[in-house]
A and B are shown apart, each in its own frame.
Chain A
Amino acid sequence: MPTANTEEENSKSELQKNHGGGGGFTRWAVVAVIFRLALIYFPGNLNLSSRPEVSTPLTSIRRLAEGYWLKQSSMSPYAGSMYHGSPLLLSVLGPLTVKSRTILTDSVAHCRIEGQPSHILCSLVFVLADLISSILIRATGRKLQIAYRKSLKSLNLLNKSTDSGALSSGDIAALVYLWNPFTIVACVGLSTSPVENLFTILTLYGAATGLAPLAAFGWVMATHLSLYPAILIIPVILLLGYGPDAPPSKLFRSKEHGKVGDGKSSQEIIFSWRRVFHLLVWTSLWSVYVLVLCSISVKQHGSLQEMFQRTYGFILTVEDLSPNIGVLWYFFAEVFDFFRDFFLIVFHSNILFMILPLAIRLKHRPCFLAFVYIAISSMLKSYPSVGDSALYLGLLGLFLDELADMQFSFFLFCGYVGVSLLSPVMHNLWIWRGTGNANFYYATAMAYACFQIVLVVESVSSMLNHDRKLTKLSTSKLQK
C-alpha cells in the first residue's frame, strides 16, 4: 500500500503547489533518482529481478547476462532459448553485467551463488533511462498543453480559470512516471523495460515536436526492441501530419461558417504529407541501419533470420508459458496443440482489430490514440510486465486537462493497488507454499486485465465526452 500510493501522493502534492513549476519538478525528479539509487544499493531480500511481474523472458537481465556469456564463449546468444532480446542491447548492456561482477568481486561472489548477480552499472543505465523518459514526457506534455491552449483560444473557449491554473500536465505526467511504483520496481528489478519505454516515449516526443528523424529513430528502435510499438506508426503519422492533439476539426470548420463574414484567413487543418514522407524515408534509413548493425553483431554465430525467429518469433508464438501478469500464458498452457495456431492468430489480431476503429474515432488526438494503443498492447501482449503499465500510466498524466472528470478514478486506483499487492501473494501461495494453484494467480491476472480494460474504456469515453463538451460550448457560443 505505502509505495503504491506514492504516485498519487506526488501528483497530488504537485497539484497543490501548482505554481511550483520547474523547481518542483527538478526537486522531485532528483529525489526519485536518489530513491532509486538507494533501493539499488540496498537491495533487501525482495528478489525483484526474479519476480514474474517484473522480468519477463524478454526483459530479464539474467537472461541478457546469459546471452552475453554465450556470445563471449563464441556461441549464438540465442542458443538454448535463454535470450530473446535484441543483439544491440546485448552489445550495450552485456559488458556492464560482466564488469560489475569483477568490480565487486567479494560481495558479488557471494551473491552469485544465490543466483543473484548484482548489476550496479546496468541499474545506473536504467535509472538514467527513466530520468530521460520523464524529461521527454515533460517536454511532450508542454508541447501538448501549448497546442491545447492554442486550439481553445482559437475557439474562444479559454477563460481565466483554465488559463491561470498553471498546473502543467507535463510535469505531473513526468512525476507520475518517475514515482509510479511500477516504474520503480521495473527499474530496480533490472528489467530492460525502462530502455524500451524510453524509445517509445522518444517516438512520441519526436512526433509531437515534429522532428521526423527522431520520431523515426524512436519508432524503429522501439519496434526492434519489443515489436508491439510497431502499431504506433499510425499515431506518429497522424501526429506529424495533423500536429498535436486538438479538438475535432469540424469544430473549427463550423466556427469558420459561423464567422464567415469577418474575413479572417481560414485556419484549415491540413494534413502535411511532406513530414510523413520525411518520416517514411527516415524510417527506412534507420531500419536499414539497425538491421546492418544487428547483422554485424550476430554475424559470427548466427544470422539475421535466427535473430528474427528468436525475438519476433518468440513473441508471436508465445513459446514461454511461465506465469506472468498477462492473460495468454494460462490460455496457451491449456489449449490443445492443434488449435494453438488458430488462437495465436485470434489473440494477436485482437490488437490489430482495434487499430483502425480507434484511429478513425481519435484521429484528431494522435497522442491520446498512442496512449490507447500502448495500453491495449500492454494488456494483450504475450509477455507483459509492470514496466509496460508504468509507461501508459505515465502517459495518462499527459491528458490531465481532458480527463479531469474521468469516472471511477478511485475505483481504478484501489483496484490497481489491490491487484498489485494480491498478485505476489497469490504467486507465493502457488509456487512456494503449494497450498494454492495456478488458478489463484491467474485470477489476479484476469482482474488486472479487467482493471486495464476499465481504465482504457473510461479514459476514451471521458475524452470523447470532453470533445462533446467542447462542441456544445462552442456551438452555444456561436449561437449567442
Chain B
Amino acid sequence: MAEVEKKEVAAATPPWKPKPRPIVRLGIVLISHSLLVSVVCCTAGVVALFLLPMLAKNTYISENALMPGSASSMLSNDDISEAERLAKDLTSLNSGAADAGIERRRVLAKYLSDLGVEVGYHKFEPHQNQFHPLHFFSSPDSGLSRENGSCSSYGINVVGIIRAPQADGKEAIVLVTPFNFRKNSSSEALSISIGYAVFSLLSRVTWLAKDIIWLVADSQYGEYASVASWLRDYHIPVFSASSSHNADSCFEGNNINLLREESLDRTEISSGFRRAGTMAAALVLKVTDVKGQLEDTLSVYAEASNGQMPNLDLINVVNYLAVHRQGLRVKVEKFLSVLRWEWIWVLGDTLNFIGKVAGSLNPEWKFGISTPDYVEGTATLANSLYRQALGIPTGPHGAFRDFQVDAITLEISPKVVYTNQGRRNEFILRSARLIEGVVRSVNNLLEKFHQSFFLYLLTSPAKFVSVGVYMIGFALLVAPLPLVAASLYVDANKPDPSSQGPKHKLQINFKPWKWLSAAKQVFTVHAWGVFVSLLPYFISQIPNSTPAAHSIIWFSLSTFGLLVLYLITKSHSKPQKGEWENLKSVTISVVFIGLLLMSVVNFATAQIGALVLVPACLLAQPLKLDIRDASLKSFLRIACNVFISFVAFPPVGFFVLKGVNEGFGDMDVGEFWTWLESLWAWNSATYIYIGMVHLPCWVLCLHILLHSC
C-alpha cells in the first residue's frame, strides 16, 4: 500500500513541489482508487444492513426514575365490575336509534362525573389531510388553515381529567381509547371497560404526581382525526373571534346542546375546553379480535409521521410489564412474506454457522444467532424500516409525536372472544394492570423522556438497533459517492497538455468553472422534479376521475414537461471532452447531499433510497462507450445499468416490490397513484424525496447512459 501511495504521490505532484500533507495524500490515494474503494464500501454497506438483526441489542430501561413494576397493583375486582357495568350500559343501548350516540356519551359522562373527575366534551370537524409540501420544515401548526367546514359532519370526544391531588398540575399523562359512539362493537366496549377500570382506580389513588387525561376519541371519522384535532385544540388555543362565532353557529340546533341540557348535573360538565399540563406520555389502548391466537397478545405500534419514534424507554416499560408482570405475549409487526423467502433462511443458517465457528475458536466471540431468530429479526426489521420509510403514522399515537409527546398504541387481542364473565374479567384485570403499571412508571418521571433512544429500529419487542449501529451501514453505502465524484471531477478537469496556450500571454481560462454547465443541467432536472411533485396537487382537483386516469395524466404531463425542457436546453454544439464526467460528478454530489439530508429527516427512506440510487449513480456510464469497448466487463455493466435504471423508476420499483410481496396477480395502474396520494396526504417527507431527489437523479442517470460522447 505504501508503495502504491508513493507512486501515486509521485505521479500526482511534480517532483520539485513539496510533499502534500498526509491528509491530502490520503485523500489522493482514496480518490485514485475510487473504484476499489467504492466496490468494497458498497458491499460492506449492504452486508452491514443484513447483519443488523445480529447486532441488535437487548433493550434495557435507561431512565432510573421509571422503576417499572416496583409497586404492586392496586386494581381490584370492584373497579372491574364497575367498568363492566358501564360497558353493559353502553352496549345495551339500541344502536339503531338515531340518538344512540348522544345517549352513550351521556352515559359515559355520567359515569365519569360520578367518579368525581372533570368531564368535558370536545367537538371537532374532521378535515381532510391537505398537501403541504413544505410542512416538514415548519412548526406543526403553521400552514394549517382553519377552514370553516360544514356543520353537518362533526364528532364529539369525551374527555375526563383527574387532577393530581398533590401536584401543581403542570404535567399530564394521556390515555386514549378510540370508541365509535354510533356503533355497537364488543371489542371497543372491552377497551372502554379497561380504560374505565384504570381511570376509576386512578381517581382514588393518592400517589398521582401528574394529571391523568382520559380521551374517549370519537372514531367515526377515523381514530387519527379525532385525536389529532383534540391535540391541536389542546396545544393551539384559538383566540380569533370569528372562529368562536362560527362554532356557536354550528352548535345552534345541534344536539350537543341537547346533550348538555339532558345531562343530569350541568355544572359538572364543563362548557369550555379543559386542559391539564404538558403531556409526559400518551397511551392509546385498543382491543381487537384476532382469530386463531394461542394466547392473549399485545401488539405495540410506535411509528409516527416521517419515521419518528417515541422514546425507547416507553416501549421498554410496556414490554417489561407486559412480559414479566402480566404474562402477555408482546409482538411488533413484521413482514410475513420475508419468512417465506428461502434465501433469508439460508443466510441465517450461514450466519449461524459462522457464529458457531467463531465461538469455537474463541468463546468470547458470541455473535451467533439462531436461524429462526435471525429470520424473525429480519422480518421485523424490514417492517420497521418500511413503516418508518413510508412516513405515515401507524395509529392515533402519531398525532402526539407532532407535539413532541411520546406515545404508543397498545393493541390487545384476547385469545378468544370471551363469553364467560369470569374469564373476561380476568382479561380486563390483566390489561388494566398493565396500563396502571405503565401510568405509575411514567408518573415517577421527573423530566420528559430523554434518557433512551429516539432513533432506533426494532428487531423484536425486546431488541433494537440504535442509530450508532445502523448509521455505519448507511455511511459505508454512501461513502463512495463523494470519492467517485471527486475522482470524476479530477479526471474531467485534468489540464490538457495539447491545448496549452502561448506561455507569454495572460490567459484567463474558466476551466475550473466547467462544472457550472453540468450544474445547470442538474438544476434544470431538479426544477422539473419540483414541477412533477407539485402536479398531483392540481391533478387531484379534477373531479370524477379514477386513480388510473390520474396517474396517466400525471405521467403524460411529466413526460411532456421533460421533453419541453430537453428541447429548450438542448445544445447543438459538439459534446466536449469530460462533459459526461462532469455531469456524473455533479449528479453524484447531488445524490450524496440528498441522501445525507434524507438520512437526517427520515433514516429509513434514505437507507432504502441509497440501496437503489447509489449503484445506479456509480455504475452510470454512457452506453456508447461500453458498446464501443465491447468487452465482457462492459457488457456486464450495460446489463446492470439497464436493469437498475428499469427498477429505479419509481412506479416500476413500486410494482416490483408489491409483486414480490403479494404476487404479480392483479396490478392496477391506479395503485401507484393511491399509494403516493397517501404519502402526500400524510405530509410524508418520502414523497418529497421521491419527487425531488430520486426521480431527478434517475432522469440524470438515464441522461448519462444515453449521452452522446
Identify which of A9, A47, A434 contacts B404 (C-beta below 8 A).
A434
A162 to B601, CA, bound (A): 48
Select from chain B the residue with minimum beta-carbon distance to A427.
Answer: B137
Contact B597 A409 (CB under 8 A): no
Candidates B404, B511, B589; contact of A414 at CB < 8 Å? B589
- Is B506 a contact of A157 with CB atoms below 8 Å? yes
B138 touches A409 (CB 8 A): no
Chain A residues near B523: list those with CB within 8 A: 1-2, 5-6, 8-9
Contact B506 A11 (CB under 8 A): no
Nearest chain B CB to A421's CB is how many angstroms away? 6
B508 touches A12 (CB 8 A): no
A-side contacts of B511, CB under 8 Å: 405
Q: Answer yes or no: A110 CB below 8 A from chain B CBs.
A: yes
Contact between B526 and A1, CB atoms less than 8 A apart? yes
Beyond A6-B523, A410-B515, whether A162 also contacts B508 by CB under 8 A is yes
Task: Give Cα A169 to B289, complex, Å.
Answer: 73
B134 partner residues in chain A, CB cutoff 8 A: 44-46
Contacts of B527 in A (CB 8 A): 2
Contact B136 A435 (CB under 8 A): no
With A and B bound together, what is the CA distance between A380 and B503 in angstroms?
Answer: 41
Measured between alpha carbons, how far is A158 from B506 in the docked complex, in Å? 7
Q: Which residue of A lies closest to B401 (CB)?
A: A433
Surface stretch bound by A, among B107-115, B139-147, B167-175: B139-147
Q: How far is the CB of A455 from chain B (nearest CB, A)?
A: 14
Which single member of B404, B513, B520, B522 contacts A409 (CB below 8 Å)? Answer: B513
Closest to B132 in A: A45
Partner of B692, one of A1, A44, A405, A426: A1
In the complex, chain B residues whose CB is within 8 Å of the CB of A433? 308, 404
- B574 interfacial contact with A, CB 8 Å: no
A422 to B598 Cα, complex, angstroms: 9
- Flag if A2 contacts B530 (CB, 8 Å): yes
In the complex, A95 has a CB within 8 A of chain B = no
Contact A45 to B526, CB < 8 A, known contacts A159-B505, A161-B507, A422-B600: no
Most buried by A among B506, B522, B585, B692: B506
A209-217, A254-262, A469-477: which lies at the interface: A469-477
Query: What residues on B are CB-neighbors of A477 within 8 Å?
Result: 504
A113 interface residue, CB < 8 Å from B?
Answer: yes
A13 lies within 8 A of chain B by Cβ: yes
Q: Which chain B residues lie closer than 8 Å to A15 at the CB level?
A: 510, 513, 516
Measured as residues with beta carbon below 8 angstroms from the partner, the interface class of chain B is 35 or more
| Min CB–CB distance B700 → chain A (angstroms) | 12
Chain A interface residue count, Cβ-Cβ cutoff 8 angstroms: 54
Interface positions, chain A 135-158, Cβ under 8 Å from B, are 152, 157-158
Interface positions, chain B 215-246, Cβ under 8 Å from A, are: 239-240
A435 and B455 contacting across the interface, CB-CB below 8 Å: yes
**Residue A248 interfacial (CB < 8 Å):** no
State the CA gap A428–B240 with chains docked (Å): 28
Q: Is the CB of B142 within 8 A of A45?
A: yes
Chain B residues within 8 Å of A113, by CB = 239-240
Are B589 and A469 neighbours in the complex by a CB distance under 8 Å?
no
A429 beta carbon closer than 8 Å to chain B: yes
B512 at the interface (CB under 8 A from A): yes
A31–B257 Cα distance when bound, in Å, is: 57
Contacts of B141 in A (CB 8 A): 114
Bound: A37/B590 CA distance, A: 29
- Chain B residues lying within 8 Å of A434, measured Cβ to Cβ, are 404, 448, 454
Question: Given the complex of chains A and B, what is the CA–CA distance between A15 and B132 in angstroms?
Answer: 37
B-side contacts of A152, CB under 8 Å? 506
- B509 at the binding interface (Cβ < 8 Å): yes
Interface of A (DSSP majority class) = helix
Chain A residues with Cβ below 8 Å from B454 are: 434-435
User: Is A417 at the interface (CB under 8 A from chain B)?
Assistant: yes
B526-552 vs A: 1/0 string, CB under 8 Å? 110110000000000000000000000
Asked if B593 lies at the interface with its beta carbon under 8 angstroms from chain A, I say yes
Bound form: Cα–Cα A16–B513 in Å: 12
By the criterion CB–CB under 8 Å, are B142 and A47 in contact?
yes
Q: Is B517's CB within 8 Å of the partner chain A?
A: yes
Task: Indicate if B594 sits at the interface (CB-CB under 8 A).
Answer: yes
Asked whether, in the complex, the Cβ of B593 is within 8 Å of the Cβ of A405, the reply is no
A46-B137, A159-B505, A426-B600 as given contacts; A114 in contact with B142, CB under 8 Å = yes
Which B residues, 529 to 580, have Cβ-Cβ distances below 8 Å to chain A? Answer: 529-530
In contact, A159 and B506 (Cβ under 8 angstroms): yes
State whether B507 touches A162 (Cβ < 8 A). Answer: yes
A110 to B530, CA, bound (A): 30
CA distance A429 to B522 in the complex (A): 28
Closest to A437 in B: B450
Q: Is A165 an interface residue (CB 8 A)?
A: yes
Is A104 on the interface with B (CB-CB < 8 A)? no
Q: In the complex the two chains form, is B455's CB within 8 Å of A12's CB?
A: no
Chain B residue contacts of A404, Cβ below 8 A? 508-510, 512-513
Cβ of A406 within 8 Å of any chain B Cβ, yes or no, is yes
CB of B138 within 8 A of CB of A417, answer no
Quick one: which of A1-58 are within 8 Å of B by CB? 1-2, 5-6, 8-9, 11-13, 15-16, 44-47
Contact of A110 among B240, B520, B522, B586 (CB under 8 A): B240
Q: Are A1 and B512 also in contact (CB < 8 A) when A46-B137, A432-B139 are?
A: no
- Chain B nearest CB from A91 CB (Å) reads 31
Contact call A406/B512, Cβ cutoff below 8 A: yes
Which of A6, A110, A405 contacts B509 (CB under 8 A)?
A405
Most central of A425, A469, A473 by chain B CB within 10 Å: A425
Contacts of A347 in B (CB 8 A): none
A302 within 8 A of B: no
List the A side residues contacting B142 at CB < 8 Å: 45, 47, 114
What chain B residues lie within 8 Å of A66 (beta carbons)? none
A12, chain B: closest CB distance, angstroms: 4
Chain B residues, Cβ within 8 Å of A109: 240
A414 touches B593 (CB 8 A): yes
Residue A332, interface by CB 8 Å = no
A426 to B596, CA, bound (A): 12
Chain A residues with CB under 8 A of B520: 5, 8-9, 12-13
Chain A residues whose CB sits within 8 angstroms of the CB of B25 once the complex forms: none
A468 to B230, CA, bound (A): 70
Name the residue on B nearest A115 (C-beta).
B142
Q: Give the contacts of B662-707 with A (CB-CB under 8 A).
A: 692
Instruction: Select from chain B the residue with minimum beta-carbon distance to A13.
Output: B520
Instruction: Please determine whether A428 and B137 come into contact, CB atoms closer than 8 angstroms.
Output: yes
- With A12-B516, A45-B134, A435-B455 as known contacts, state yes or no: A162 contacts B600, CB within 8 Å: no
B647 within 8 A of A: no
CB-based contact B404/A8 at 8 Å:
no
CB distance from A8 to the nearest CB of B (A): 5
Cα distance A409–B404 in the bound complex, in angstroms: 40
| B600 near A401: Cβ-Cβ < 8 Å | no
- With a CB–CB cut-off of 8 A, which chain A residues contact B503? 476
Contact B137 A424 (CB under 8 A): yes
- Does B29 sit within 8 A of A, measured CB to CB? no
A282 proximity list for chain B (CB < 8 A): none
From B516, B524, B590, A11 is in contact (CB under 8 Å) with B516
Q: Which of A88-137 contact B (CB under 8 A)?
A: 109-110, 113-114
Report Cα–Cα, A417/B308, bound state, in Å: 25
Q: Besides A9-B524, A44-B134, 16 other CB < 8 A contacts?
A: A1-B692, A2-B529, A8-B520, A11-B516, A12-B517, A15-B516, A161-B505, A405-B509, A410-B489, A418-B593, A421-B593, A426-B600, A432-B140, A434-B404, A470-B506, A473-B504
> What are 15 of the A-B contact pairs (CB < 8 Å)?
A2-B692, A5-B520, A5-B523, A8-B516, A15-B510, A46-B138, A109-B240, A110-B240, A113-B240, A152-B506, A161-B508, A404-B509, A421-B593, A422-B600, A425-B597
**Shortest 10 CB-CB contacts between residues of A and residues of B:** A45-B143, A5-B523, A435-B454, A434-B404, A12-B516, A159-B505, A418-B593, A410-B515, A157-B506, A414-B589
B residues near A (Cβ < 8 Å) are: 132, 134-143, 239-240, 308, 404, 448, 454-455, 489, 501, 503-513, 515-517, 519-520, 522-524, 526-527, 529-530, 585-586, 589-590, 593-594, 596-597, 600-601, 692
